[in-house]
Amino acid sequence: MGSVLAIGLMSGTSLDGIDAALVETDGVGHVRPIAFRSDPYPEAVRAQLRAASARALQARRPEPSATMTAAANVVTERHATTVSALLLEAGVAAADVAVVGFHGQTVAHRPDRGWTWQIGDGAALAATLGIVVVDDFRSADVAAGGQGAPLLPVYHAALCARLPRPVAVLNLGGVGNLTWIGADGGLIAFDTGPANALIDDWVRAEAGQSHDAGGALAAQGRVDQTVLTNMLDTPWFDLPPPKSLDRDDFSMQPARGLSVVDGAATLTAFTAETVSLALRLVPQRPVRLFVAGGGRHNATLMQMIAARVGMRAEPIEAMGWDGDATEAEGFAYMAVRTLAGLPISFPGTTGVPAAMAGGVIHRP
């Protein structure tokens, strides 16, 4: 298919809010960003989603409940509001948009149990907006034996198509994930470990803040090497890719008893060390390491990553892209690929047996 206008929506495991990106793309080699908007969740919504996630993590499989339905309705309504605002700001009519890629809100990711759970009603969103919506991007991959994550590598490959390779893109959201693109264009991708999740949990619990802005708390602290060593002592980091995590697979509990700043420093160092361990699992050292996601705003984390991997960690803006918009843009790109019947996951990225399409299409 030719190039079309598409909107991508992402609300990550950090629960900070909704990112929405409007792009022009053919789902292959052409991507032109047009507009971007980010709407934070109110604290009451964050609390509601945290409660939904806690319930989901206790479930044996995804199943309906009043708690989940209420949370899903809130997610859908807020995404619809964000899309409407984005279109208004961009001066674009809904009728001119071919598709919306709606990731939904992950409440639990359990590929080891054969399921992944994102809440949000794609059919209702399509009816509200009057635009075709693609959602449920991960379930088909998991059903086929894949990890269901990460999904952004196909978009990272498009962004890096003209760069010297091998090259790597690190996304630092609630969970970190790495995309390695080889000289021949081959893809390897996997989750690296917690990125912002444990740091955010720590400063919320110990300092009453939503996140460590700029890494200011961590910069004042001292890394507790004993705690750090104990946290890194898990077989998961030695597993070969592809592999993926749920946001809550790791805990900040080992840092309990440390001061606010020492705990922030130690958990930040933990994230940086997981990136270093991840780079040992790729076939060849990348010539450049680009960083997207909210974690790139944490100067202390970026410095720790650079020190531990022995190369500069460059914000993705270094190649002319918006690191806040990258994930949302990626779901716009993948939605167009879904409409065209093109694959979004691959053996080297999620572990599926063969490249496969994904997503469920809802027409208004």
Same domain as 133, residue 42 = yes
Q: Is residue 319 part of a domain?
A: no
Residue 56 has a pLDDT of: 86
Same domain as 130, residue 8 = yes
Q: What percent of the chain has pLDDT over 70?
A: 100
14 pLDDT above the threshold of 80:
no
Q: Is residue 68 part of a domain?
A: yes
Q: Is residue 317 part of a domain?
A: no
Same domain as 355, residue 266 = no
The tens digit of pLDDT for each residue in 163-197 reads: 999 999 999 988 999 999 999 999 999 999 999 99
Residue 192 has a pLDDT of: 97
Residue 15 has a pLDDT of: 83
Residue 174 has a pLDDT of: 87
Same domain as 107, residue 70 = yes
Same domain as 342, residue 228 = no
Q: Can you tell me which residue has the tokens 């840092």?
A: 255
Q: Is residue 271 part of a domain?
A: yes
Same domain as 170, residue 78 = no
Same domain as 296, residue 331 = no
Residue 161 has a pLDDT of: 92
Q: Is residue 143 part of a domain?
A: yes
Chain centroid, CA 186 distance in Å: 21
Mean pLDDT of the region 55-71: 90
Same domain as 187, residue 137 = no
Tell me the pLDDT band of 87, cut-offs 50, 70 and 90: very high
Please provide the average confidence, as pLDDT, over all residues in the chain. Answer: 95
Q: Is residue 157 part of a domain?
A: no
13 pLDDT above the threshold of 90:
no
Assigned token pair, 171: 């996304």
Same domain as 137, residue 172 = no
CATH number of the domain to which 117 belongs: 3.30.420.40
Secondary structure (3-state) at 2: coil
Same domain as 45, residue 136 = yes
Secondary structure (3-state) at 186: coil
Secondary structure (3-state) at 257: coil
Q: Is residue 242 part of a domain?
A: yes
The tens digit of pLDDT for each residue in 285-312 reads: 999 999 998 999 999 999 999 999 999 9
State which amino acid sits at residue 317. Answer: E
Tell me the pLDDT band of 16, cut-offs 50, 70 and 90: confident
Same domain as 113, residue 166 = no
Tell me the pLDDT band of 247, cut-offs 50, 70 and 90: confident
According to DSSP H, which parts of the chain are helical? 43-57, 66-90, 122-129, 139-143, 153-159, 197-207, 216-220, 225-232, 260-279, 299-309, 326-340
The tens digit of pLDDT for each residue in 208-239 reads: 999 999 999 999 999 999 999 999 999 999 99
Same domain as 239, residue 104 = no
Mean pLDDT of the region 121-147: 97
Count up the domains in the chain and report the number: 2
1 pLDDT above the threshold of 80:
no
Domain that holds residue 339: 4-150+326-362
Assigned token pair, 155: 């978009």
Q: What percent of the chain has pLDDT over 90?
A: 91
Which of 297, 352, 306, 358 lies closest to 333, judged by CA?
A: 358
Q: Is residue 210 part of a domain?
A: yes
Residue pair 331/339 in contact by the 8 Å Cβ criterion: no
d(CA 26, CA 70): 35
Residue 156 has a pLDDT of: 95
Higher pLDDT, 246 or 92: 92
250 pLDDT above the threshold of 90:
yes
d(CA 177, CA 292): 10
Higher pLDDT, 59 or 229: 229
Secondary structure (3-state) at 115: strand
Q: Can you tell me which residue has the tokens 């859908």?
A: 76
- The H or E element spanning position 250 is none
